[in-house]
Amino acid sequence: MVHSAGALGVGAQVSAYLDDTYLEQVDTRVIAVGEKGGTPWAAVEHCLFHPQGGGQPADRGWLEDTEIIPVRDRESGLVVATVPGGGSLPPLAEGQKVRARIDLRARTAHAALHTAGHLVEAVGRMQGWEMVASNHFPGQARIEFQAPRTDTRLADPEGREEVTAVLRAAVAAAVADDLPVFARCLAGGRRVVHLDELHSASCGGTHVRSLGDLAELALPTLKVKKGRIRVSYSATHVPFTATQVSCTGTHLPYAAPHVPHPACQAPKRVGATE
């Protein structure tokens, strides 16, 4: 049940988490409140919270001082804030001003893993493979491929290690070149993330500024199971310096570049679908 005039299409939501990976907090306003299955939720105009999706975990965040979990509401298309463990949100009303904040360390860890996943996909495609699945969760990160043609190198452990070494070298070269990472939106609102000219893919995740922001990028020897080539990986974000982290709180001095298209910038109306 929605307890807000936003259900009539009055409110609008902007996906601020897509425009700046490194935005730590924002002052915004509530555009809708309600409950679903007895669980209260609230939606804010400038949504800082990335919901779970596309193989990426949800952000850890807060509305004022209350910790929340963001989820995508399939009926309205909004990203809404709920409280973990069945807790309650603070009293909120449509139009009320609130401060939204994320755990920036968790955000950048997720962004590093997601970006590294695109890079692994790119070097896998260099081998002639096609991606069929992905997971960017910490401790589970992997890209799965299929080879349209038989790759004899994958038939034995020595060959699989040889191919993995090729992937590692290609990944290390791209990181050393510090290729820029940016997003563009095409007509119709489809968002495409680019690793410079190396790779591009439709994606609604958060990403680092450039591949040089990736650290500790490791690829264990790939595995082949039921015709799928599984390339597991791990990665972290380079450490922040004292000058990079905002003490007061709204912004870091750099962001993953975003080249907007009008369709990408259009706010999502309550009741819209993604």
- C-alpha to C-alpha distance for 212 and 43, rounded to whole angstroms: 35
Structure tokens at 56: 């990426």
Cα torsion at 190, 195, 200, 205 (round to 10°)? -40
Residue 251 in this model has a pLDDT that exceeds 60 = no
Per residue in 103-114, pLDDT (tens digit) is: 999 999 999 999
Least confident of 8-12, 47-51, 110-114, 143-147: 8-12
Cα dihedral 115, 259, 242, 174 sign: positive
Cα 21 to Cα 73, 128, 173, 186, distances in angstroms: 22, 31, 24, 20
What is the pLDDT, as a whole number, of residue 27?
A: 96
Residue 160 in this model has a pLDDT that exceeds 50 = yes
- C-alpha to C-alpha distance for 46 and 120, rounded to whole angstroms: 32
Q: How many CB atoms lie within 10 A of CB 218?
A: 12
Residue 260 in this model has a pLDDT that exceeds 60 = no
Q: What is the mean pLDDT of the chain?
A: 85
